[in-house]
Amino acid sequence: MTINSPWIPERIVSRRPRYRAIADALAEDIASGRLSEGERLPPQRELAHTLGVTVGTVTRAYELARSRGLIAGEVGRGTFVRARATTESFALGVRPGGQSSTGSELGDEVVDLSLSIAPAERRSDVIATLLVELAADPSLHEWCTYQPHAGHPRHRAAGAAWLRSLGVEANRRDVIVCAGAQHGISLLLSALAHPGDAVLTESLTYPGVRWIAKERGLRLVGVAQDDEGLCPDALEARARQTGARVVYCTPTLQNPTVATMSEQRRIAIAEVVRKCDLMLIEDDVYRPMLEQPPVPLANLAPERSFFVTSLSKGITPGLRVGFVRAPSEWARDLAGAVRTRMWVVSPLAVELAARVLESDAAEALSRWKRSEAAKRHELALRYFPREQIRSDRASLHMWLPLPSPWRGAEFASRALERGVRLSADDTFAVGPISPGSQGVRLSLMSPTSLASLERALERVSELLDEPVDALPSVL
């Protein structure tokens, strides 16, 4: 069935984010019967014009509706209503048939390059061996009960030893166990900043920080960045303008721009941090991907730096375990933050993580990921010249700057129509997107096969090579 007139929401709840309000309105109209299974929805650009919003807003609304199982897209044909279900199920993110929604789903033809994730390791045998050993260990019962909030001393020591192997100055007393880097960043922002405080970060930054800041009532302030990441002069100016006392950054293989600071830039940033009395949160989850990583910022200003990393990117995503190295006087406060939020990170999971770090498994898994990343990077270079992209053979993703008149959301929308899902610049932007910052992130490790990755890269390359007069108008 095809509707005679394009769908327009009858009611949009203004207090919600616009994209979510549109998706919720779509859910209500399906639940009420106003839209039926198989009905075609208006093209994203057309609906954006009708509602007076950006194409990116409608793209996000359609993506959310897809993740809830409400709609499906067919390349070349359009977007259609999938099935009728209850409004409650939509609100809870439950797919028709009772299955929970675990991710976006457009159809088999879509290749997802939107998530910067490490691939599931092919060396699962090393994890299996350690699991068998743990199950047979007489000490197993110790890891099935409560432990100190900051982590068992053995686990903190294993974390400190791993950090030292990565070039980070660390000892057991200064290391806190966390449930991944996202949890560690959340702990730090809750301990270092209060609602309403300004927190400085790159103008394009990891989206998880934006989510945490919103939840905590913090005000993120973007700082200009270049090919090496944060600009020292801009950081100092922003610190003085805002009175901020906290700065968050990813100095190595930055997400999304892949920038890595030189040693000279790191020294300059450390000087600004001291000069402006800032507390630094250094997110370095990609460090294990480098065989010879640069000196950490935390080593250059240890008395005011918090180093955060996890096993997810460089070793295995299945172990949600990470570590925070903090100045000694902050260890107790961070342990209290762990207690408040989750009492203690699962000791059983952390024990397995410790055994991974203490064995040859960690290096074996990191080595495989580095090899896979390099292979996919070389594949990407067949479609994008080095001067056209920002990339590193050790990175899980690449950044594709867009020429005028493209904007990231519009490019991502058009790429999705061609069967490729990307993350646009507005996903990472802190404040308005400055001229020259338009782009999309391509996550090279998400596809399960090189063949599907190559298919996606080819489609994105073709879209980028369209003549300027064939580009769509931008709202």
- Give me the pLDDT at residue 466, please: 76
Residue 226 has pLDDT above 60, yes or no: yes
Question: Residue 289 and residue 29: Cα distance in Å, rounded?
Answer: 47
Whether omega before 401 lies within 30 degrees of 0, making that bond cis, reads: no
For range 285-303, the mean pLDDT:
95
Helix (H) or strand (E) holding 279: strand 279-283
Higher pLDDT, residue 237 or 34: 237
Provide the 10 A C-beta neighbour count for residue 367.
Answer: 13
Find which of 20-34, 43-57, 148-162 is predicted with most confidence, using mean pLDDT: 148-162
**Which DSSP string do the residues of 214-246 spell out, in sequence order?**
HHHT-EEEEE-EETTEE-HHHHHHHHHHH---E
- Give me the pLDDT at residue 240, please: 97
Residue given tokens 């507005």 in the structure block:
426
Residue 401 has pLDDT above 60, yes or no: yes
**Which DSSP string do the residues of 320-356 spell out, in sequence order?**
--EEEE--GGGHHHHHHHHHHHHSS--HHHHHHHHHH
Tokens of 171: 């000892």
Tokens of 400: 């594709």
Residue 458 has pLDDT above 70, yes or no: yes
CA distances from 58 to 62, 68, 136, 268, 464 (A): 6, 15, 53, 42, 21
- Give me the pLDDT at residue 155, please: 96
Higher pLDDT, residue 118 or 320: 320
- Give me the pLDDT at residue 15, please: 55
The predicted-structure confidence for 424-444, as pLDDT tens digits, reads as follows: 999 999 988 888 889 999 999
- Give me the pLDDT at residue 446, please: 87
The predicted-structure confidence for 352-375, as pLDDT tens digits, reads as follows: 999 999 998 888 888 889 999 999
420 with 431: CB under 8 angstroms?
Answer: no
For range 307-313, the mean pLDDT:
94
**Torsions phi, psi for 428 (to 5 deg):** -110, -10
Sorted by sequence, the CB contacts under 8 Å of residue 278 that are 6+ apart come out as 200, 239, 244, 245, 246, 247, 272, 304
- Mapped onto helix, strand or coil, the DSSP state of residue 168 is coil
For range 373-381, the mean pLDDT:
94
Residue 189 has pLDDT above 70, yes or no: yes
Higher pLDDT, residue 400 or 318: 400
- Give me the pLDDT at residue 28, please: 81
- Mapped onto helix, strand or coil, the DSSP state of residue 373 is helix
Residue 74 has pLDDT above 70, yes or no: no
Provide the 10 A C-beta neighbour count for residue 464.
Answer: 17
Helix (H) or strand (E) holding 177: strand 175-178
CA angle, residues 378, 384, 387, in degrees to nearest 5: 100
334 with 150: CB under 8 angstroms?
Answer: yes
For range 30-56, the mean pLDDT:
85
**Torsions phi, psi for 134 (to 5 deg):** -65, -40
Sorted by sequence, the CB contacts under 8 Å of residue 102 that are 6+ apart come out as none
